[in-house]
Protein backbone atom coordinates (compact mmCIF):
# COMPACT_ATOMS: atom_id res chain seq x y z
CA UNK A 1 0.00 0.00 0.00
CA UNK A 2 1.19 3.48 -0.83
CA UNK A 3 1.37 6.15 1.82
CA UNK A 4 -1.35 8.08 -0.01
CA UNK A 5 -4.80 7.18 1.25
CA UNK A 6 -7.22 5.50 -1.11
CA UNK A 7 -9.53 7.81 -2.97
CA UNK A 8 -12.40 5.70 -1.73
CA UNK A 9 -12.35 3.12 0.97
CA UNK A 10 -15.46 1.15 1.81
CA UNK A 11 -15.01 -0.73 5.03
CA UNK A 12 -17.31 -3.52 6.18
CA UNK A 13 -20.38 -1.83 4.77
CA UNK A 14 -23.67 -3.62 5.22
CA UNK A 15 -26.98 -2.32 3.96
CA UNK A 16 -30.08 -3.98 5.27
CA UNK A 17 -33.75 -3.35 4.44
CA UNK A 18 -35.88 -4.95 7.09
CA UNK A 19 -34.77 -8.58 6.90
CA UNK A 20 -33.13 -8.31 3.49
CA UNK A 21 -29.39 -7.87 3.47
CA UNK A 22 -28.77 -6.12 0.17
CA UNK A 23 -25.06 -5.56 0.72
CA UNK A 24 -23.18 -7.71 3.16
CA UNK A 25 -19.87 -6.62 4.57
CA UNK A 26 -18.54 -4.92 1.46
CA UNK A 27 -14.89 -3.95 1.43
CA UNK A 28 -13.64 -1.96 -1.49
CA UNK A 29 -10.71 0.30 -2.26
CA UNK A 30 -10.12 2.62 -5.14
CA UNK A 31 -6.79 4.32 -5.78
CA UNK A 32 -6.15 7.47 -7.69
CA UNK A 33 -6.90 7.27 -11.42
CA UNK A 34 -8.03 3.68 -11.21
CA UNK A 35 -11.05 2.40 -13.06
CA UNK A 36 -12.71 -0.27 -10.96
CA UNK A 37 -15.51 -2.56 -12.07
CA UNK A 38 -18.32 -3.77 -9.89
CA UNK A 39 -20.10 -6.72 -11.44
CA UNK A 40 -22.53 -9.41 -10.44
CA UNK A 41 -25.87 -10.90 -11.43
CA UNK A 42 -29.07 -8.88 -11.20
CA UNK A 43 -30.07 -8.16 -7.63
CA UNK A 44 -26.56 -8.74 -6.34
CA UNK A 45 -26.57 -5.40 -4.50
CA UNK A 46 -24.41 -3.36 -6.86
CA UNK A 47 -26.72 -0.38 -7.11
CA UNK A 48 -27.38 -0.55 -3.38
CA UNK A 49 -23.64 -0.30 -2.83
CA UNK A 50 -23.64 2.81 -5.03
CA UNK A 51 -26.54 4.24 -3.07
CA UNK A 52 -24.73 3.63 0.19
CA UNK A 53 -21.61 5.38 -1.11
CA UNK A 54 -23.58 8.35 -2.43
CA UNK A 55 -25.72 8.73 0.67
CA UNK A 56 -29.07 7.68 -0.75
CA UNK A 57 -29.15 5.00 1.94
CA UNK A 58 -27.25 5.18 5.17
CA UNK A 59 -25.19 2.05 5.73
CA UNK A 60 -26.59 -0.24 8.41
CA UNK A 61 -23.03 -0.92 9.46
CA UNK A 62 -19.55 0.07 8.37
CA UNK A 63 -17.64 3.13 7.28
CA UNK A 64 -16.83 4.88 4.04
CA UNK A 65 -13.78 7.11 3.62
CA UNK A 66 -13.00 9.61 0.90
CA UNK A 67 -9.31 10.44 0.64
CA UNK A 68 -8.82 9.10 4.11
CA UNK A 69 -11.50 11.29 5.59
CA UNK A 70 -14.52 9.64 7.15
CA UNK A 71 -17.49 10.24 4.85
CA UNK A 72 -20.21 8.19 6.44
CA UNK A 73 -20.35 5.57 9.12
CA UNK A 74 -22.69 3.57 11.24
CA UNK A 75 -21.73 1.27 14.06
CA UNK A 76 -24.79 0.13 15.92
CA UNK A 77 -22.62 -2.25 17.91
CA UNK A 78 -20.84 0.00 20.42
CA UNK A 79 -17.96 -2.44 20.86
CA UNK A 80 -17.12 -2.23 17.18
CA UNK A 81 -17.00 1.55 17.12
CA UNK A 82 -13.55 1.72 18.62
CA UNK A 83 -12.21 -0.89 16.26
CA UNK A 84 -13.58 0.66 13.07
CA UNK A 85 -13.73 4.37 13.59
CA UNK A 86 -10.27 4.42 15.20
CA UNK A 87 -8.98 7.90 15.71
CA UNK A 88 -12.20 9.35 14.32
CA UNK A 89 -14.17 7.89 17.18
CA UNK A 90 -14.19 11.05 19.23
CA UNK A 91 -15.31 13.12 16.28
CA UNK A 92 -18.14 11.02 15.01
CA UNK A 93 -19.06 8.57 17.65
CA UNK A 94 -21.93 6.57 16.30
CA UNK A 95 -23.49 7.51 13.06
CA UNK A 96 -22.57 9.83 10.26
CA UNK A 97 -25.06 9.87 7.43
CA UNK A 98 -24.68 12.82 5.10
CA UNK A 99 -27.32 13.37 2.43
CA UNK A 100 -26.44 12.82 -1.25
CA UNK A 101 -25.96 16.53 -1.93
CA UNK A 102 -23.26 16.78 0.71
CA UNK A 103 -21.46 13.77 -0.70
CA UNK A 104 -21.58 15.27 -4.18
CA UNK A 105 -20.06 18.44 -2.80
CA UNK A 106 -17.28 16.43 -1.21
CA UNK A 107 -16.36 15.07 -4.62
CA UNK A 108 -18.30 11.95 -5.52
CA UNK A 109 -20.56 12.23 -8.56
CA UNK A 110 -22.73 9.55 -10.08
CA UNK A 111 -24.95 8.52 -12.95
CA UNK A 112 -28.07 6.41 -12.67
CA UNK A 113 -28.98 2.99 -13.99
CA UNK A 114 -32.15 4.28 -15.63
CA UNK A 115 -31.06 7.67 -16.88
CA UNK A 116 -32.30 10.48 -14.69
CA UNK A 117 -31.89 13.65 -16.68
CA UNK A 118 -33.86 16.80 -15.99
CA UNK A 119 -36.30 15.81 -18.67
CA UNK A 120 -37.98 19.00 -19.85
CA UNK A 121 -34.85 21.12 -19.63
CA UNK A 122 -32.24 21.72 -22.29
CA UNK A 123 -28.91 19.96 -22.50
CA UNK A 124 -27.18 23.16 -21.47
CA UNK A 125 -29.45 23.68 -18.46
CA UNK A 126 -28.85 20.12 -17.33
CA UNK A 127 -25.15 20.82 -17.05
CA UNK A 128 -25.64 24.33 -15.72
CA UNK A 129 -27.76 23.01 -12.85
CA UNK A 130 -24.91 20.79 -11.78
CA UNK A 131 -22.83 23.97 -11.46
CA UNK A 132 -25.35 25.46 -9.06
CA UNK A 133 -23.59 23.98 -6.06
CA UNK A 134 -20.56 26.12 -6.82
CA UNK A 135 -22.63 29.32 -6.77
CA UNK A 136 -21.65 31.47 -3.84
CA UNK A 137 -24.19 34.24 -4.33
CA UNK A 138 -27.16 34.17 -1.97
CA UNK A 139 -30.67 34.01 -3.40
CA UNK A 140 -31.08 37.76 -3.04
CA UNK A 141 -28.02 38.78 -5.00
CA UNK A 142 -28.65 36.01 -7.53
CA UNK A 143 -32.18 37.30 -8.11
CA UNK A 144 -31.07 40.87 -8.58
CA UNK A 145 -28.22 39.74 -10.81
CA UNK A 146 -25.46 41.00 -8.57
CA UNK A 147 -23.41 37.90 -9.36
CA UNK A 148 -22.96 38.39 -13.07
CA UNK A 149 -19.31 37.40 -12.97
CA UNK A 150 -20.16 34.12 -11.31
CA UNK A 151 -23.06 33.42 -13.65
CA UNK A 152 -20.76 34.06 -16.62
CA UNK A 153 -18.20 31.69 -15.14
CA UNK A 154 -20.58 28.77 -14.66
CA UNK A 155 -22.03 29.30 -18.11
CA UNK A 156 -18.56 29.29 -19.61
CA UNK A 157 -17.53 26.20 -17.68
CA UNK A 158 -20.68 24.38 -18.74
CA UNK A 159 -20.12 25.36 -22.35
CA UNK A 160 -16.53 24.17 -22.21
CA UNK A 161 -17.65 20.88 -20.78
CA UNK A 162 -20.25 20.37 -23.50
CA UNK A 163 -17.64 21.14 -26.12
CA UNK A 164 -15.15 18.69 -24.64
CA UNK A 165 -17.75 15.95 -24.59
CA UNK A 166 -19.11 16.65 -28.06
CA UNK A 167 -22.50 17.90 -26.96
CA UNK A 168 -22.08 21.56 -27.90
CA UNK A 169 -24.11 21.31 -31.08
CA UNK A 170 -27.18 20.01 -29.24
CA UNK A 171 -26.94 22.36 -26.29
CA UNK A 172 -30.35 23.92 -26.85
CA UNK A 173 -32.17 20.63 -27.41
CA UNK A 174 -34.47 19.26 -24.76
CA UNK A 175 -32.47 16.59 -22.96
CA UNK A 176 -34.88 13.73 -23.57
CA UNK A 177 -35.00 14.45 -27.30
CA UNK A 178 -31.40 13.24 -27.60
CA UNK A 179 -30.68 9.73 -28.85
CA UNK A 180 -30.16 7.24 -26.06
CA UNK A 181 -26.37 7.10 -26.28
CA UNK A 182 -26.12 10.90 -26.16
CA UNK A 183 -28.34 10.94 -23.09
CA UNK A 184 -25.84 8.68 -21.36
CA UNK A 185 -23.06 11.05 -22.39
CA UNK A 186 -25.05 13.99 -21.08
CA UNK A 187 -25.58 12.28 -17.77
CA UNK A 188 -21.85 11.79 -17.47
CA UNK A 189 -21.24 15.39 -18.51
CA UNK A 190 -23.62 16.55 -15.83
CA UNK A 191 -21.83 14.46 -13.22
CA UNK A 192 -18.47 15.87 -14.37
CA UNK A 193 -19.82 19.40 -13.98
CA UNK A 194 -19.73 18.91 -10.22
CA UNK A 195 -15.93 18.49 -10.53
CA UNK A 196 -15.73 15.13 -8.81
CA UNK A 197 -12.64 13.23 -7.76
CA UNK A 198 -14.53 9.99 -7.96
CA UNK A 199 -17.14 9.17 -10.57
CA UNK A 200 -19.62 6.35 -10.09
CA UNK A 201 -21.14 5.04 -13.32
CA UNK A 202 -24.17 2.81 -12.99
CA UNK A 203 -24.36 0.63 -16.12
CA UNK A 204 -23.17 3.30 -18.55
CA UNK A 205 -23.26 0.88 -21.48
CA UNK A 206 -26.69 -0.56 -20.78
CA UNK A 207 -28.70 -0.93 -23.96
CA UNK A 208 -25.77 -0.20 -26.23
CA UNK A 209 -24.64 -2.31 -29.14
CA UNK A 210 -21.04 -3.62 -29.23
CA UNK A 211 -19.81 -0.73 -31.33
CA UNK A 212 -21.42 1.87 -29.08
CA UNK A 213 -20.14 0.23 -25.94
CA UNK A 214 -16.68 0.12 -27.46
CA UNK A 215 -16.89 3.87 -28.01
CA UNK A 216 -18.14 4.32 -24.48
CA UNK A 217 -15.16 2.40 -23.16
CA UNK A 218 -12.75 4.78 -24.85
CA UNK A 219 -14.86 7.70 -23.67
CA UNK A 220 -14.63 6.57 -20.06
CA UNK A 221 -10.89 6.06 -20.32
CA UNK A 222 -10.56 9.51 -21.87
CA UNK A 223 -12.49 11.36 -19.20
CA UNK A 224 -10.47 9.56 -16.55
CA UNK A 225 -7.34 11.11 -18.05
CA UNK A 226 -8.80 14.49 -18.98
CA UNK A 227 -10.47 15.09 -15.65
CA UNK A 228 -7.94 13.28 -13.46
CA UNK A 229 -10.60 10.99 -12.04
CA UNK A 230 -10.99 7.71 -10.31
CA UNK A 231 -13.95 5.71 -11.58
CA UNK A 232 -16.10 2.98 -10.13
CA UNK A 233 -18.47 1.42 -12.62
CA UNK A 234 -21.22 -1.13 -12.52
CA UNK A 235 -21.39 -2.81 -15.88
CA UNK A 236 -22.80 -5.92 -17.47
CA UNK A 237 -20.91 -5.69 -20.75
CA UNK A 238 -17.92 -7.89 -19.99
CA UNK A 239 -16.11 -6.54 -23.00
CA UNK A 240 -16.19 -3.07 -21.43
CA UNK A 241 -15.34 -4.20 -17.92
CA UNK A 242 -12.50 -6.44 -18.96
CA UNK A 243 -11.27 -3.79 -21.38
CA UNK A 244 -10.70 -0.86 -19.04
CA UNK A 245 -10.95 -1.92 -15.42
CA UNK A 246 -7.73 -2.45 -13.58
CA UNK A 247 -9.51 -4.36 -10.85
CA UNK A 248 -12.95 -5.90 -10.52
CA UNK A 249 -15.16 -6.74 -7.57
CA UNK A 250 -17.85 -9.39 -7.99
CA UNK A 251 -20.97 -9.30 -5.86
CA UNK A 252 -23.54 -12.02 -5.49
CA UNK A 253 -26.43 -11.87 -3.05
CA UNK A 254 -24.75 -8.90 -1.42
CA UNK A 255 -21.54 -10.81 -0.73
CA UNK A 256 -18.22 -10.05 -2.38
CA UNK A 257 -17.38 -13.40 -3.92
CA UNK A 258 -14.25 -12.36 -5.76
CA UNK A 259 -11.97 -9.46 -6.50
CA UNK A 260 -8.86 -9.03 -8.58
CA UNK A 261 -7.66 -8.10 -12.03
CA UNK A 262 -9.71 -9.04 -15.10
CA UNK A 263 -7.69 -12.22 -15.78
CA UNK A 264 -8.19 -13.55 -12.28
CA UNK A 265 -11.87 -12.77 -12.35
CA UNK A 266 -12.40 -14.47 -15.70
CA UNK A 267 -10.90 -17.68 -14.40
CA UNK A 268 -12.47 -17.61 -10.96
CA UNK A 269 -14.75 -20.66 -10.59
CA UNK A 270 -16.98 -18.84 -8.08
CA UNK A 271 -17.67 -16.09 -10.58
CA UNK A 272 -18.46 -18.55 -13.32
CA UNK A 273 -20.79 -20.34 -10.93
CA UNK A 274 -22.58 -17.14 -9.96
CA UNK A 275 -23.16 -16.18 -13.55
CA UNK A 276 -23.84 -19.54 -15.13
CA UNK A 277 -25.05 -21.65 -12.23
CA UNK A 278 -23.61 -25.09 -11.39
CA UNK A 279 -24.24 -28.30 -13.22
CA UNK A 280 -26.36 -30.62 -11.15
Partner 1 sequence: MDLTTFLQNCVTGVSLGSAYALIAIGYTMVYGILRLINFAHGDIFMMAGYFTIFAITNFMLPWYVAILVVIIATVILGAAIERAAYKPLREAPRMSIMISAIGVSFLLVNLATYLFTGLPRSFPKLGFLQHVYKIGDVSAPVVTFITPVITIVLLFVLIYLVNHTKMGMAMRAVSKDYEASRLMGIEINTIITITFIIGSALAAIGAILYFSPRPMVYPFSGMMPGLKCFIAAVIGGIGNIPGAVIGGFVIGIAETFLVAVFPSMTGYSDAFTFVLLIIMLVFRPTGLLGENITEKV
Partner 2 sequence: MVLKKSTKAILTTVLVVAALVLLYMLDNGVIGSSYTVRIVRLSFIYALIGVSMNLVNGFTGLFSLGQAGFMAIGAYTVGVLTIPVDLRPNVYYLKPMAEGLANVEVPFGVALLLGGIFAAVFAALIGAPVLRLKSDYLAIATLGFSEIIRAIIANDQLAPITNGSLGIKSVPGFTSIFVPVAISVAGIAIMALLIKSSYGRAFKAIREDEIAAEAMGINLFKHKELSFTVSAFFAAIGGGLLAAHLTAVDSNQFKIMVTFEILLIIVLGGMGSITGTCIAAFAITAGKEWLRFFDAPFFIGAWQVPLFRPGLRMVIFSLLLMAIVLFYRRGLMGTKEFSWDGIFNFFHRLQDEIRRRLKKPAREVQ
Q: Mention every residue, 6+ apart, whose C-beta is less than 8 A from residue 207.
A: 180
Paired with 11 in beta bridges are 63
| DSSP state at residue 122 | B
Cβ neighbours, 10 Å, residue 10: 23
Looking only at the bridges linking them, the beta strands covering 247-252 and 35-39 are parallel
Q: Determine if 116 is a binding residue for partner 2 (CB under 8 A).
A: yes
Q: Closer to partner 1 at the Cβ: 18 or 269?
A: 18
State the binding partner of 117 from partner 1, partner 2, none, CB within 5 to 8 A by kind. partner 2
Handedness of CA 154, 156, 159, 161 (dihedral sign): negative
Main-chain dihedrals φ then ψ at residue 222, nearest 5 degrees: -65, -45
Tell me how far the alpha carbon of residue 12 is from its chain's centroid: 18
Interacting residue ranges for partner 1, rule: CB under 8 A:
17-18, 47, 51, 56-57, 112
Using CB under 8 A, which of 125, 173, 212, 214 touches partner 2? 125
Q: Determine if 105 is a binding residue for partner 2 (CB under 8 A).
A: yes
The rounded distance, in Å, linking the Cα atoms of 8 and 270 is 26
Q: Mention every residue, 6+ apart, whose C-beta is less than 8 A from residue 229.
A: 33, 196, 197, 198, 199, 223
Q: Determine if 182 is a binding residue for partner 2 (CB under 8 A).
A: no
State the binding partner of 90 from partner 1, partner 2, none, CB within 5 to 8 A by kind. none
Q: Determine if 165 is a binding residue for partner 2 (CB under 8 A).
A: no
State the binding partner of 182 from partner 1, partner 2, none, CB within 5 to 8 A by kind. none
Q: Which stretch binds partner 2 (CB under 8 A): 21-29, 110-118, 210-218, 224-232?
A: 110-118
State the binding partner of 184 from partner 2, partner 1, none, CB within 5 to 8 A by kind. none
Q: Closer to partner 2 at the Cβ: 54 or 73?
A: 54
Chain contacts with partner 2 (rule: CB under 8 A)? 54, 56, 99-101, 104-105, 109-110, 112, 116-121, 125, 128-133, 135, 137, 139, 142-145, 151, 154, 190-191, 193-194
Amino acid sequence: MTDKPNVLKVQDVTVQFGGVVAVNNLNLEINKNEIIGLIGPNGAGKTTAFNAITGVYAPTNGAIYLNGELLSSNFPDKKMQGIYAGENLGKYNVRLAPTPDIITRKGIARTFQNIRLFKNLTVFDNVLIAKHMTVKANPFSATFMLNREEERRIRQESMDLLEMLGLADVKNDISTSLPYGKQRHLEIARALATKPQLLLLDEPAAGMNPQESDELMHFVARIRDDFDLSILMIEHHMQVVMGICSRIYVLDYGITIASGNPKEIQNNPKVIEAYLGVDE
